[in-house]
Amino acid sequence: MDRQGSFRDGPQPAEFRRKLKLILAMACLAVFVLTARMWYLQVIKGDELRHRSENNAVRLRAIQPLRGLIMDRRGEVVVDNRASFDVLIMPARDFPPHMLARKVQEIYETRSVEFSPDQPLPAVFKTHLPVRLEKNISLEKVALIETNSVDLPGVYIGVTPVRLYVGGEIIAPIVGYTGEVSKAELDCGKGDFLPGDITGKTGLEKILDPYIRGRRGNELIEVNAFGRVIKNLGRIDPVSGADVVLTIDAKLQRAAWEAFAGRAGAAVAMDPRDGSILAMVSSPSFDPNLFNSGIAHDEWVKLQNNPLKPLSNRAISGQYPPGSTYKMIVAAAALEEGIITPETKVVCNGTFELGGRAYRCWKKHGHGPVNLHRALVESCDVYFYTVGRMLGADKIAQYAARFGLGDLTGIELHHERRGLVPTRDWKLARMKEPWQQGETISISIGQGFNLTTPLQLVQAYSALANGGTRWRPRLIQRVISPDGTVLKEFLPEKTGEILLSQKTMAHLSQALWGVVNEPGGTGAAARRPGEDVCGKTGTSQVIGLPQSEKARRSMKIADFHKDHALFVCYAPMKNPEIAVAVIAENAGGGGAVAAPVARKILDAYFDGIKQRQAIKLTGKDVSAGT
């Protein structure tokens, strides 16, 4: 420092100011660049980056609800739910799903486990929605995914409820099955569906889907860059679907199925007092559990191409000639129209001549002189050829319509068929040909153009049993919400009356009792001590046969061209509680084949009543352990 107090060797003021200005200029430039960049990111690109950031950090997971239970009339669960495990991938930019899928496959290969992708992965992914890689995987695969989770960022196990059909093929024609919502269902916009949602495809699962589907839940989760969950940001719990109580008795349903012993055909048991369906069997059937995880293509083709059509419900859509079960309706028409009296006799010598053609009776040498009662008891064809010719086709059709034949019964299921009650006008309109007298002879014994379903037959005989009321058949009692509130109740519904006099119904009922209980009755195999079973056998031809006895005997008939066996009955005679219709396809005579099946159904019903009464009195299940 000199005398003036200045530093000669330090920086001079002018130089210091220049350096300070340069530093300030550089700082201002840096602040400007930073501010401009922040403005660009926040204002110009703000929405895009905010959306990208949220999608990268937040994911929305759908939570599938439990479908409502389906129970029989006594509370036994016939359709339940079970857990299904799926492999899901949460897409992330650094871990493409295709790469993760390859890693999963490599991990499986180390344990010789088959890799079964649900479907080809899409080319474009939505980063906020998971992608399902596999569904309904085994517990072994669950363990492999969980133990290797560190190497599988964004891959996780999802739990989805799927149906458990406890009754399997026994109950399938009634309840149907579920499956993933189709593209067509998504496109139509009905039902608030998302891809992967489960919906009813057939049967009651489809019809009651709005009630039993439930409401989907959601959870909002935050994930890191590896797709792993950091925390749960919020959750809306799913709401379980409503439960359904059927009119079906599960034990009776199983008994009816077992009674068929593998034969093709159908059986329906109905309460004639209100139309409640107690059992409905269609054989062969299918296992609806196959559809839970998506049925394999070869299994689907096998079901579709099966000539016995296991996917159809024969009880409502199988159309068969009613055979001699139709004679009850012809008898009712003849009595009501005054064509005959109960004492009117016809001599049966084994054939009925008309126009140079001989129409045979099933009994080669005939029944001799028979009145209406014996004609029904022994199922004399010649008697009904004679009476049917006097009535005419149109008059027979009028009475068949009173019993509900030739029309839909109105049951809740889809794909019910109408059957056919032919008339002169129908043939002229359909075939452009006039009606022939010989065709009246054929329809008089339930052959020819006649077609009915098992459900129509049981409804017709139920109307006779209960005194004349035709009830709409119903499978559902009520639908109940998870909190126990009855959402909908299906009450008995009267759809018509058969309009027969009490005297006519009494004559018919007595004759049907004789079919089962009198000597010579064709339905003796359905006889049950203690209950007065009333019924009618039937045997319907599938193909026309030559009139010559020798030609008939020499003819080789394929199994699928053999006669159908039918039996329709109700019991007890006074105050009937159950009516049963059985059709065994290509099985032979109704008395020999169908009546024993009906007897087993009746046994299960009445023995079940006695068992429940014993439990009520003693408090002990006497059948336990047997």
Amino acid (1-letter code) at residue 303: L
- CA–CA separation, 461 and 270 (whole Å): 10
| From 84, 282, 285, 324, the catalytic residue | 324
For the chain, the straight-line distance linking the first and the last C-alpha, in angstroms and rounded, comes to 122
Residue 193: name the closest of 209, 177, 207, 208 by CA.
Answer: 209
CB 246 within 8 A of CB 475: yes
Collapsing DSSP states into helix, strand and coil, what is residue 124? coil
**DSSP assignment letter at 74:** T
CB 314 within 8 A of CB 282: yes
CA dihedral 552, 555, 558, 564 (to 10 degrees): 0
Q: Are strands 243-246 and 70-71 parallel, antiparallel or unpaired?
A: parallel
Q: How many residues does the chain have?
A: 626
**Which residue's structure tokens are 């999608």?**
55
**H or E stretch at 220:** strand 217-223
Q: Are strands 578-584 and 265-270 parallel, antiparallel or unpaired?
A: antiparallel
What is the number of other CB atoms lying within 10 angstroms of the CB of residue 226? 13
CB 214 within 8 A of CB 239: yes
C-alpha separations of 442 from 99, 354, 397 in Å: 71, 12, 13
| Helices and strands (H, E) in the chain, number of each type | 21, 23
**Which residue's structure tokens are 């018919």?**
508
CB 80 within 8 A of CB 166: yes
**Is 324 among the residues known to form the active site?**
yes
Question: Which two structure tokens, joined as six digits, stand for 580?
Answer: 């049963």
| Residues carrying an active site annotation | 324
